[in-house]
Copies of this chain bind each other. A is one copy, B any other.
Amino acid sequence: MQEATMVKHLKIAYIGGGSRGWAWGLMSDLALEPALSGHVALYDIDFEAAQANEIIGNRLQDHPDAVGRWRYEAVQTLPEALKGADFVIISILPGTFEEMRSDVHAPEAYGIYQSVGDTVGPGGAIRALRSIPMYVEIAEAIRDHAPNAWVINYTNPMSVLTRTLYEVFPGIKAFGCCHEVFGTQELLAEMLEDMTGVTGVRRQEIEVNVLGINHFTWLDRASYRGTDLFPLYQAFAEKYAEEGFSTHGQKDHWMNNSFASANRIHFDLFRRFGLIAAAGDRHLAEFMPNTWYLRSPEHVKQWKFGLTTVDWRINNLQKLRERSRRLVAGEETFSLKSSGEEGIAMLLSLTGASAPMITNVNLPNRGQVASLPLNAVVETNAVFGANSVQPVMAGSLPEDINNLVTRHVYNQETILKAALTKDRDLAFRAFLNDPLLSTLTPSQAEELFTTMLNNTKAYLPGWEL
């Protein structure tokens, strides 16, 4: 449609990123985009990590394929990072992997297994309690130093953390960004090839209506060039219900790769509920009672998806740190390639550098999902235009699915309230009501809660534990 416009002198504040992977993807994407230029302030509680990224980012400018002009600068304070920012990107690790080890693995003693442990379930709840105070601080700083900036949140638990930003600063222009829906669009594209022989379909060509909450999102409409994909998906789900089906992005994976799956949960949920769940199996499993998919490691294996251990994450971080060292030292050079994230495309639309785009996003519910509580952070499609993000009216979930989603919405609202008021009892009520704990007695759940809360207490200042 409209040709791209050149937008110069943007300031981006990047909060977090010490864990490297995300930050490098952004740097790469920015370097490849000719329409934008400016500078990026890097803020991380690990200042050395930010400094390493400053060196790596600035070195990228010498890369022969780099067309966007960007200057990187590590800063020591949040206000410094935010001052004058047009965009704020938040991607932090709340706490360390030691706390995450407790989040993910402590419940195993009670027969509760978690595939990710960062969104819902006991792990998600504790992680939220730990992260919310950090997001309170960030939201206050944005209110005071960059009230007109667009704020893009990538951190999990995404719904509750984006919700925290709005609770603290209702005028914030923030949204949560997640690529899980894209994976389901890719699955539908590969289904076309598998079932009809049509090849080369890009995920963007799969039109979908998105509604739900982050990592528990649903599609009630999907089409390709005007053809309704639901009947085909029905046949596809029947065909692969037992055996499973992995996309190219997931191939050879689920046995060896803790991020992969064979989509058996996708197929099971579709056959039970009639809508297409639009997140990876690892996430979806955690939203259902633990008798469904997560009651034992063997059971998980039957469902053909992986449990991502924290040991794997620690090992992976070690590799990233080593790579960071090599990049800083100039021993390794980036090969620039697009990350596939929509972040840059969003920046282009938000700055007016390109025409409006439609993609899925997490925003407070103003009625875009009619059946979910107002103000909770929900995921739907939205139109990104110049200085504007407008959700589309996505309609309602059917009562049965809505019930499953609403339970998590109110749990998250309860956790937020508990975190803001440092109310241990209230936090426990939300914890206890999580579907993954549905087989525990209240006293077993209380025991587990006490253990897990204790393991994260360094991040709960002011709580009476």
The residues of A with any CB-CB pair to B shorter than 8 Å are 1-2, 5, 7, 204-205, 207, 209, 221, 223-228, 272-273, 289, 291-292, 295, 351-353, 356, 358, 366-368, 370, 381-383, 385-388, 390-394, 399-400, 402-404, 406-407, 410-411, 413-414, 417, 425-426, 429-430, 433, 435, 438-442
A-B contact list, 30 entries, CB within 8 Å? A2-B225, A5-B225, A5-B226, A7-B226, A207-B385, A207-B388, A209-B390, A225-B353, A225-B386, A226-B351, A226-B386, A272-B429, A273-B429, A291-B438, A291-B441, A292-B442, A358-B358, A366-B370, A367-B367, A381-B383, A383-B392, A391-B392, A391-B393, A400-B426, A403-B406, A403-B410, A403-B433, A404-B433, A407-B407, A438-B438
Contact B442 A439 (CB under 8 A): no
When chains A and B are docked, how far (Å) is the Cα of A385 from the Cα of B221?
A: 11
List the B residue with the shortest CB-CB distance to A357: B1
- Shortest C-beta distance, A277 to chain B (Å), equals 14
Task: Name the residue of chain B whose CB is nearest to the CB of A441.
Answer: B291
Determine the distance from Cα of A413 to Cα of B371 in the docked complex, in whole angstroms.
13
Chain A at the B interface: SS class: mixed
The residue on B at minimum CB distance from A435 is B438
Indicate if the CB atoms of B383 and A399 lie closer than 8 Å.
no
Nearest neighbor of A444 in chain B, beta-carbon distance: B291
Most interface-central of A2, A204, A400, A435 (chain B CB within 10 A): A400
Write out the residue numbers on chain B whose beta carbons fall within 8 Å of the beta carbon of A223: 352, 385-387
Residue of B356, B382, B402, B435 touching A207 (CB-CB under 8 A) = B356
Q: How far is the CA of A149 from the CA of B253 in the complex (A)?
A: 45
- Indicate if the CB atoms of A399 and B386 lie closer than 8 Å: no
Nearest residue, chain B, Cβ from A411: B403
* Closest B residue by C-beta to A271: B425
Other than the given A291-B440, A390-B393, 5 more pairs (CB < 8 A) read A272-B442, A368-B393, A390-B392, A403-B433, A407-B407
Assembled-state Cα–Cα distance A303/B2 (Å)? 36
Stoichiometry, copies per complex: 4
Chain B's nearest CB lies how many Å from the CB of A406?
A: 6
Which chain B positions have C-beta within 8 A of A205? 2
Q: For A403, give the chain B residue with the smallest CB separation.
A: B410
Residues of B within 8 A of A2 (CB): 204-205, 225
**B residues in contact with A221, CB < 8 Å:** 387-388
A387 / chain B contacts, CB cutoff of 8 Å: 221, 223, 226, 228
User: Are A410 and B399 in contact, CB atoms less than 8 angstroms apart?
Assistant: yes
Assembly CA distance A235 to B394 (angstroms): 39
Q: Would you give the shortest CB distance from A301 to chain B, in whole angstroms? A: 16
| Complexed CA–CA distance, A272 and B446 (Å) | 12
Q: Which residues of B are found within 8 Å of A413, using beta-carbon distances?
A: 399
Residues of B within 8 A of A414 (CB): 399-400, 403
Distance, CA A433 to CA B398, complexed state (A): 14
Which chain B residues border A441 with CB–CB below 8 Å? 291-292, 295
A187 to B291, CA, bound (A): 39
Report chain B residues within 8 Å CB of A353. 225-226
Of B207, B402, B430, which one neighbours A352 at CB under 8 angstroms? B207
B289 touches A438 (CB 8 A): yes
The answer to whether B390 and A394 touch across the interface, beta carbons within 8 angstroms, is yes
Chain B residues whose C-beta falls within 8 Å of the C-beta of A368 in the assembled complex = 393
**Most chain B CB inside 10 Å of its own CB: which residue of A224, A352, A403, A430:** A403
Instruction: Specify which chain B residues have a CB less than 8 angstroms from the CB of A382 in the assembled complex.
Output: 392
* A204, A387, A399: residue with the most chain B Cβ atoms closer than 10 Å: A399
Q: Which residues of B contact A289 (CB under 8 A)?
A: 438
Q: Are A410 and B402 in contact (CB under 8 A)?
A: yes
Q: How far is the CA of A276 from the CA of B205 in the complex (A)?
A: 35
Closest to A202 in B: B2
Residue among A221, A353, A356, A385 having the largest count of chain B Cβ atoms under 10 Å = A385
CA distance A226 to B440 in the complex (A): 42
Question: Across the interface, which residues of B come within 8 angstroms of A400, CB to CB?
Answer: 410, 414, 426, 429-430, 433
Q: Are A367 and B393 in contact (CB under 8 A)?
A: yes
**Which residues from chain B contact A225 at a C-beta distance below 8 Å?**
2, 5, 352-353, 386
